[in-house]
Amino acid sequence: MGKDMSYEAVMGRNSEIMKKAIGMDYNEFETDGIAFDYERMMRETGYSLQEIEKIQNETGVGHTPIYELRNLTKLARKFAPEGKGARIFVKDEAANPSGSFKARRAATSCYHAKKLGYKGVIAATSGNYGAAVASQAAMRGLKCIVVQECYDSQGKGQPEIIEKARKCEAYGSEVVQLTVGPELFYTFLVLLEDTGYFNASLYTPFAIAGIETLGYELSMQFREMEDRDPDVVVVTNAGGGNLTGTARGLIKAGATETEVIGASVDLSGLHMASDTQFNRKSFTTGHTGFGIPFATWPDRSDVPRSAGRPLRYMDRYVTVNQGSVFYMTEALAQLEGLERGPAGSTSLAAAFKIAQELDQDQIVVVQETEYTGAGKHIMPQLTFAKENGIKILIGDPKKEVPGENIILPKDPSYISIQDIDLNKTKKSYIRNCIKNNRVDKISEEDLKFLVEDTKSNRKFVKEVLNELKIDY
């Protein structure tokens, strides 16, 4: 009798499928309560940072250049208070083989899959990671399947996602395109079970450890260039892996005084899994539709425990509007001669405003850029938005309503950032830990874990537990 392939049955086999597809038993890191041994899980990759650097070197990943954005710095200083306007730099991750920092994630995963004897790899992503896995798999002689959430129920797909599918196919990957909804994870599990391929998830320790080289490298480059670490590193934040890996790399370099700021596009009010709202956003990643849910519950990912845990490392979290990101994407091209995709320009828009808060001798770094393909250019994005009834306006970005309009700043002085209340976000995370683990009392080990996972302190966590009426 064949296996039960119903949705409920496949989901019920999730842990078993994942164990075979990653070669790692997540149960080994668990305790009886909320806590799990995060650092032990990260060590289970079996690779040191130096070994990962060597693995990435084999396929041309890493050692990407840093550019000082002198013209954008001058522009920021025009709108900054006297003596303010930090120097703005960018780390050009578009120089990686697949055109984004996600090549670092994929390099480690594909190497490990090959080492363990897997015949192929599978990734569930509509973003740059699919292209990165396809590229690295081709270099390692592995087969590759990329599962994409691509269309709404009318068969309409966003130009950026479709462009990424073409890139994956160019590397020889098979692309499975799905409509928005719960079928993505179900199909992903079915393919893992049927093929026996490696789960090259964005959220395994192998993927996050791959990004650590970015933070470490960034610090080493600044010490060579400026004889110091940067004051601020701004990271575009979605699922949290980018920020987690970069911050861990900075810590391993000893850059513990560098402030790590997450930046997301404000898409509040839009539901990412909604068929009717799927095409009413102009950003497929780096937005609050991923950034907030994954910060408040990282284990919603496609592995039992996500290695991307942004609240452990985030010092500040800001949002920018869609129009400002498009504006800064064009400004980067026209003022600095760097045409790059909009994902990295999320952190660039935030950095442009943050630089105006800092002294002129300080350094703020935009942590990554991405390639620009046909569908990732701002013009097809804005055209697609108009076709879906979104008004394109020029004015004050603060008046932008996601899903209704995109407001390009009238001039650079209109670019602004909004701070997200990190304490509120941390409270939501603790609440989700209680709810999803179904506990009414937590241990000393749990308490220590919550302090670490929220980068807070015992007093803060205890106050939240008291509000929730949870014993400790």
Dump pLDDT digits (tens) for 188-220.
999 999 999 999 999 999 999 999 999 999 999
Q: Which amino acid is at 75?
A: L
Report d(CA 201, CA 260) in Å as an integer. 24
Predicted local distance difference test score (pLDDT) of residue 1? 54
| Residue the block writes with tokens 């402030």 | 259
DSSP output for 267-318? -TT--TT-TTTGGG-S-SSSBHHHHHHHHH-GGGSSSSS-S--GGGT-SEEE
What does DSSP assign to residue 81? Answer: P
Predicted local distance difference test score (pLDDT) of residue 426? 98
Q: In 3D, which of 417, 393, 254, 233 has the Cα closest to residue 321?
A: 417
Q: How far is CA 354 from the centre of its chain?
A: 20
Q: Are 120 and 137 in contact (CB under 8 A)?
A: yes
Burial per residue of 190-217, b for 16 or more beta-carbon CB atoms within 10 angstroms, e otherwise: bbbbebebbbbbbbbbbbbbbbbbbbbb
Report d(CA 159, CA 339) in Å as an integer. 18
Q: What pLDDT, in 10s, does the model give residues 344-364?
A: 899 999 999 999 999 999 999
Provide, for the chain, the percentages of residues in helix, strand and coil under a 3-state DSSP scheme, each rounded to the nearest 5: 50, 15, 35
Give every CB contact of residue 236 below 8 A, 6+ residues apart in sequence.
242, 262, 263, 264, 285, 286, 343, 344, 346, 347, 367, 368
Going from the C-alpha of 161 to that of each of 251, 283, 329, 402, 403, the distances in angstroms are 34, 10, 18, 19, 18
Positive or negative: CA dihedral 327, 329, 330, 335: positive
Predicted local distance difference test score (pLDDT) of residue 204? 95
Report d(CA 310, CA 241) in Å as an integer. 7
- The tens-digit pLDDT sequence of the chain (472 residues) is 578 899 898 888 888 898 899 999 999 999 989 999 999 999 999 999 999 999 999 999 999 999 999 999 999 999 999 999 999 999 999 999 999 999 999 999 999 999 999 999 999 987 899 999 999 999 999 999 999 988 888 888 888 888 889 999 999 999 999 888 778 889 999 999 999 999 999 999 999 999 999 999 999 999 999 999 999 999 999 999 999 999 999 999 999 999 999 999 999 988 777 778 888 888 888 999 999 999 999 999 889 999 999 999 999 999 999 999 999 999 999 999 999 988 889 999 999 999 999 999 999 999 999 999 878 888 999 999 999 999 999 999 999 999 999 999 999 999 999 999 999 999 999 999 999 999 989 999 999 999 999 999 999 999 999 999 999 9
Strand locations in 157-277 (E): 174-179, 198-199, 232-236, 259-265
Report d(CA 215, CA 184) in Å as an integer. 31
Burial per residue of 34-66, b for 16 or more beta-carbon CB atoms within 10 angstroms, e otherwise: bbbbbeebbebbebebeebbebbeebebbebeb
Report d(CA 223, CA 212) in Å as an integer. 17
Q: Which amino acid is at 260?
A: V
Strand locations in 54-173 (E): 66-68, 87-91, 120-124, 143-151
